[in-house]
């Protein structure tokens, strides 16, 4: 009788991993302040957000991917070409240090928003200062407890303008696409005061995790300290960028999906403050936000140690 092998799993004790809540709150409050002017692609406030992210990475001694944190791309704006810039950094994993096959996990969050209307600022606290702050917070933890895999921290520009930054990243790094095992995308994690759930969708996880590993991941999700739900409500009538899209293509993860890279996308979904002047730091759900980041980080740890 043939024996059946079961893929071994690494279960991580997450009690030692404590996110810096005060720093997390500080990041989202600063990025969504009026001084950043809504962070619209090509604006002064957008450039200020880039500088804030780079400064934060430098303070953590996290190096850029390549020679610079700034990965510029051009886009057409009416009759002229304009420039956007992704911020991209790299944290080397333990497997790479041990000369194992190089594998990347790409963590993404877009920092741009929709700017101003006259003197009124669309602050974009949830969309997506929340994801940007979360990614900086996770990066801080990864400097204390190094990951197994190489982690690319991708802060995208131009997500609100047809996912321009994510598309530029894929085009720029076509040489490593085969080595990217997973994209984890963070977009809108704090919701409104009424938001009570963090949602997620994924595609292709069965290509990087075994059946029993997927079962364990589901157990981790089911035992999350917050209400975590797979799937999103219908997007009927919700406008993302310039067209109506399904949730699979609603944010930067859609670009990775089209490149045949597995992804997990976390977000609260569309709510009353989405793309409104009311999407401010004062109107987000801070309790949900910290719970969401902690839950995402726990799932990341399991995945990083098992793919």
pLDDT tens digit string along 179-230? 999 999 999 999 999 999 999 999 999 999 999 999 999 999 999 999 999 9
pLDDT digits (tens, 9 = 90+) for 135-174: 999 999 999 999 999 999 999 999 999 999 999 999 999 9
**Among candidate residues 187, 204, 169, the one with its CA nearest the CA of residue 296:** 187
Strand partners, 151: 91, 105
Cα dihedral across residues 64, 68, 74, 77: positive or negative: positive
21-31 vs 131-144: helix axis angle to the nearest 10? 140
pLDDT digits (tens, 9 = 90+) for 232-269: 986 554 444 433 348 999 999 999 999 999 999 999 99
Query: Does domain 14-304 correspond to CATH entry 3.40.630.10?
Result: yes
The residue written with tokens 């929340």 in the block is 130
Asked if the bond preceding 128 is cis, omega within 30° of 0, the reply is: yes
The residue written with tokens 């700017």 in the block is 115
CA 137/CA 143 separation, integer angstroms = 10
Mean of pLDDT over the chain: 92
CA 129/CA 108 separation, integer angstroms = 12
Give the burial string for 5-24 (b: 16+ CB within 10 Å, else e).
eeeebeebeeeebebeeeeb
CA 49/CA 307 separation, integer angstroms = 33
pLDDT digits (tens, 9 = 90+) for 264-284: 999 999 999 999 999 999 999
Question: Distances in Å between the alpha carbon of 60 and those of 64, 107, 142, 238, 288?
Answer: 12, 17, 10, 37, 26
Does the predicted model carry a pTM greater than 0.75? Answer: yes
**Residue 56 clears pLDDT 80, i.e. is over it:** yes
């Amino acid at each position: 009788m043939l024996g059946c092998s079961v893929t071994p799993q690494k279960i991580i004790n997450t009690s030692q991993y404590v996110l810096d809540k005060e720093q997390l709150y500080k990041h989202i409050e600063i990025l969504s302040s009026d001084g950043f002017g809504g962070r619209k692609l090509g604006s002064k406030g957008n450039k200020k957000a880039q500088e804030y992210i780079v400064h934060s990475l430098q303070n953590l001694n996290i190096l850029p991917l390549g020679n610079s944190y700034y990965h510029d791309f051009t886009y057409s704006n009416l009759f002229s070409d304009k420039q956007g810039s992704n911020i991209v950094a790299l944290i080397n994993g333990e497997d790479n240090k041990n000369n194992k096959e190089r594998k990347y996990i790409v963590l993404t969050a877009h920092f741009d928003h929709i700017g101003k209307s006259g003197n009124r600022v669309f602050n974009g606290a949830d969309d997506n200062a929340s994801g940007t702050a979360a990614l900086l917070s996770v990066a801080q933890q990864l400097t204390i407890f190094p990951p197994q895999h190489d982690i690319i921290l991708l802060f995208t520009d131009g997500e609100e303008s047809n996912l321009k930054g994510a598309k530029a990243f894929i085009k720029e790094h076509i040489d490593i696409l085969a080595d990217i095992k997973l994209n984890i995308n963070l977009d809108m994690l704090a919701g409104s005061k009424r938001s009570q759930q963090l949602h997620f969708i994924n595609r292709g996880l069965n290509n990087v995790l075994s059946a029993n590993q997927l079962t364990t991941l589901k157990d981790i999700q089911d035992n999350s300290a917050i209400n975590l739900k797979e799937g999103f409500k219908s997007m009927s009538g919700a406008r993302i960028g310039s067209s109506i899209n399904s949730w699979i293509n609603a944010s930067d993860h859609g670009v990775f999906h089209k490149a045949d890279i597995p992804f997990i996308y976390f977000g609260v979904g569309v709510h009353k403050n989405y793309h409104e002047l009311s999407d401010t730091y004062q109107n987000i759900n801070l309790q949900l936000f910290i719970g969401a980041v902690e839950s995402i980080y726990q799932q990341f740890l399991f995945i990083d140690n098992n793919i």
